[in-house]
Amino acid sequence: MSIPATKYFIPGKINWQEFVCGWGAAFVNVGVTYPINKLIFRQMLHGIEAKSAFLQLKNEGFYYLYRGILPPLCQKTLSLSIMFGVFEEVRQPLVKIGINPYISKVVGALVSGSTEAFLMPFERIQTLLANAHYHDEFKNTAHAFKALRKFGIGEYYRGLTPILLRNGPSNAGFFILREEVQCYVPHYNNEIIRTSAEFLCGAMIGVLLSSIFYPLNVLKVAMQSKIGGAYENPWKVLLQVYRDRGGKIRYIYHGVQMNCTRAFLSWGVMNTAYEHIKAIVY
């Protein structure tokens, strides 16, 4: 189902193939799933049902549907490139010197997840552009980046804590579960069956992990929907979201159903694209 990357590891040399595979998989993924991501974002921000969020987007029109896609396209392509590339660059040397394979995966995932956080400004700008409150304030991605500059570099990294708490652990979960699943899935010669298996592998893992870390994404959106002012304590922000939504935990999970749909499609597409690109570049 996949090509063992360790086989291609050459000490002292960067294995660029993993970076390319991650970049290509993300490009395909973002183009397919962006409208769903935007709908889920509105649910996270306003705590509304999927129908209400859909009507918001419908009333705004097609022009605004893909508004803000450039930041996630830049961020996700670079992010997944780092996720796969840095993970292997860290994991493989650890395995070579005899470190437990699972510990090697966790360390590689934590390092890659933390490295991805450097790209957070793209995620920050996407949040602002997807928020209807700022439709008239920011013309486009470049304008939003420029507007935040007067608040200092820290404004681009508002909401960093939930992103760090999400990235590393979710990466570890993905790489460990992905390899475990692949051990039990037979290799199929039929292209359609093999592609379907790759899609389902990524999709099911994506649904599980995105559901587990969903509250962190809600927290990130709540923190990043503001501009200027003091930097808030993440725990206090989460408690405020909890109170604002009626003091019920289930309201923090508004949008989780659509998030599962998005994750199923997104991670399925990503894993399938990754495996196909990997077969080409290796």
Q: Is 95 exposed, middle or buried (0-12, 13-18, 19+ CB in 10 A)?
A: middle
Report the interhelical angle of 101-116 vs 160-184 (nearest 10°). 140
136's CB contacts (< 8 A; 6+ apart) are none
Contact 59, 51 (CB under 8 A): no
Higher pLDDT, 160 or 66: 160
CA angle in degrees (0–180, nearest 5) for 101-260-180: 20
CATH classification of the domain holding 109? 1.50.40.10
- With cut-offs at 50, 70 and 90, classify the pLDDT of residue 9: very low
pLDDT tens across 156-193, in order?
Answer: 999 999 999 999 999 999 999 999 998 888 888 888 99
Please give the span between the terminal C-alpha atoms of the chain, in angstroms, as a whole number.
14
Q: Is the pLDDT of residue 4 over 50?
A: no
- Could you tell me the residue range of the domain that residue 219 belongs to? 5-281
Residue 252: closest CA among 213, 224, 225, 226: 213
* pLDDT averaged over every residue in the chain: 88
CB hemisphere CA count around 116 (13 angstroms): 35
d(CA 181, CA 160): 31
At 141, give phi and psi (nearest 5°). Answer: -60, -50
Residue 14 has what pLDDT? 67
Residue 199 has what pLDDT? 95
Q: Where are the alpha helices (DSSP H) in 149-255?
A: 160-184, 191-212, 214-224, 234-244, 249-252
Rg (CA), the chain: 19
d(CA 86, CA 193): 30
pLDDT tens across 204-250, in order?
Answer: 999 999 999 999 999 999 999 889 888 889 999 999 988 988 888 88
pLDDT tens across 67-125, in order?
Answer: 888 888 888 999 999 999 999 999 999 999 999 999 999 999 999 999 999 999 988 99
Give the total number of structural domains in the chain. Answer: 1
- With cut-offs at 50, 70 and 90, classify the pLDDT of residue 13: low
